[in-house]
Amino acid sequence: MNDAYGIFTTDGEAVAGTLHDEYALHLAERLDESTASLYISTKNGVFLLGTAVNVQKKGRRPDTFIYLEKVGWNRELPPKIDLAYIHAFYSRVEQRLTEIEYVVRDLASDSEFFDERQKRVITGLMSSAAANYSVGRMLLGKEVVCVSGNLSMSVDFVVSVTEKIHSFLSPGFTIVVAKRTFRDADLLVTEKYSGKVHINLDTERTDGSKWEEIYQDVGIFAQNSTIRLKLSKEQSRRNLAEQLVSEYKTTKKMLPGRLRLFGEFLNEEDIGTFIAQHGEFSSSAYEPQNKEGLEHPKESDYGKWSINDLDREDLKREYEVHMEQKKKGRVRLLAILGIFVILLAVVVFFFVIQPEFVNPGHNATEMPYITPSATIAPVDESRIITRLNTTPGNSPAGLSGIGSAYEVTVSRPQNVTIALNVDYNPDVLYYLMRYNQSVSSWVPINTTLVISNESATALISDSGIYRIFSLTGKAVLIPVK
């Protein structure tokens, strides 16, 4: 076993631990965006645990850290993942944060969770139809979305499902409990969800879909000790689903009518069709390390579901070339946009700006609302607002970035409201800053900020990259030009 952990700020900066690679930083940002209370992943042959935690250091303001823990290589998994194992994980979180002089206030989405953990809350869903329904869907390659406002119940439920599919985790599953949506999770429990919800844990009810009974039966069938033994060695999600369907049809010895119904189920649910997940990428530190002696696949093997290490290497190289070309294109675009912004700023300064524009409260322009995870389609063509996945440059000395950076393109001065998830402190100074590409630094904007726990509103006159910063110490600001 090869264990490592990392503690990160919400800006993706490493605070402690040995995890510093790009994948870990990217994942930490995603866990912060979704306010994840528990993250379990077995993809790429590595077992990952993670959580977002509210912390505070003596004499400092409260903050949120992301904790990640990596265990094992080449599909080594803990012998058992149960509530005791998860309790031990949270204990390590507290211990390692204590070692760097931080006190854990609570999980980022529940102020009472750590206290409730001592009660070992077990819900009636552990052996319910909902758990078996989830097992059946996941093993057949379908996602499961649950909603619940009770964090203890949510964690207990996903741990119960994880226990049930433990023998089948090697092909790679992602299981998440989060306050907000987490893309590409195989099992997601969240407080609210705008799409299809399969299970409501608060009412202990499933969605009552047409094929629910078959999913439940497949889930129960997969937990049979003989079936577990036969399928536990499968290393591909597709092979796992295909073998499970084959064993189910053979063992059940279904009558013609039932067999025909099962065929309709496979066809309508598209069982066996797996679509590549978006937003996921592999780092060499998260792949099996035995890559020597690669062999080219035979021509007869092309088109099969399984791919070898050579294919993965080719895909990785293609991905790196693609990202490099994308980066160069973005630099060119930013250069052109910078020139345009400078010209536009001159025109706006001399011909458009009036005294009343200085106060955001005097501007009756409709305010677009920026969510923390998506590009918002503008009401008209006078502005384009895009959240950046990567924040450019470093934070100015003495300042701490709040939330994400946004690329804002405006055709005229107008108010912009940015969604925030912070505890607003009126005693702390907050700044709206714009990224100056020519000197690669953040420059404060001379505007009035109206800020609360939920949002910050400011008048933006020029297009550019903007971000909110708070004063954390003695800051040296670049004067507004």
Cα–Cα distance, 32 to 16 (Å, whole number): 17
Report the pLDDT value the prediction gives residue 182, as an integer from 0 to 100.
92
Domain span at residue 344 reads: 307-351
- Does the residue 298 lie in any domain? no
* Pair (345, 418) in one structural domain: no
| CATH label of the domain that carries residue 448 | 2.60.40
* Pair (65, 156) in one structural domain: yes
The answer to whether residue 300 scores a pLDDT higher than 60 is no
* Pair (254, 222) in one structural domain: yes
Asked which of 294, 324, 351 is the last residue of a domain, the reply is 351
Q: Using a CB cutoff of 8 Å and minimum separation of 24, what contacts does 220-228 make?
A: 220/132, 220/135, 220/136, 221/247, 221/248, 221/251, 221/252, 222/135, 222/136, 222/139, 222/165, 222/168, 223/132, 223/135, 223/164, 227/251, 228/167, 228/168
Report the number of distinct structural domains present in the chain.
Answer: 3
The answer to whether residue 410 scores a pLDDT higher than 80 is yes
- Does the residue 88 lie in any domain? yes
- 267 alpha carbon, distance to own chain's centre: 31
* Pair (391, 457) in one structural domain: yes
Of 136-150, 199-213, 358-372, 420-434, give the lowest mean pLDDT range. 358-372
* Pair (200, 333) in one structural domain: no
* Pair (443, 341) in one structural domain: no
Cα–Cα distance, 256 to 262 (Å, whole number): 10
- Does the residue 281 lie in any domain? no
Calculate mean pLDDT across residues 28-52. 90
* Pair (60, 209) in one structural domain: yes
The answer to whether residue 123 scores a pLDDT higher than 80 is no
Mean pLDDT of the chain: 78
Asked which of 351, 377, 408 is the last residue of a domain, the reply is 351
- Does the residue 464 lie in any domain? yes
**Candidate ranges 273-277, 337-341, 422-426; pick with highest mean pLDDT:** 337-341
- pLDDT tens sequence across 158-210: 999 999 999 999 899 999 999 999 988 999 999 999 889 999 998 888 888 89
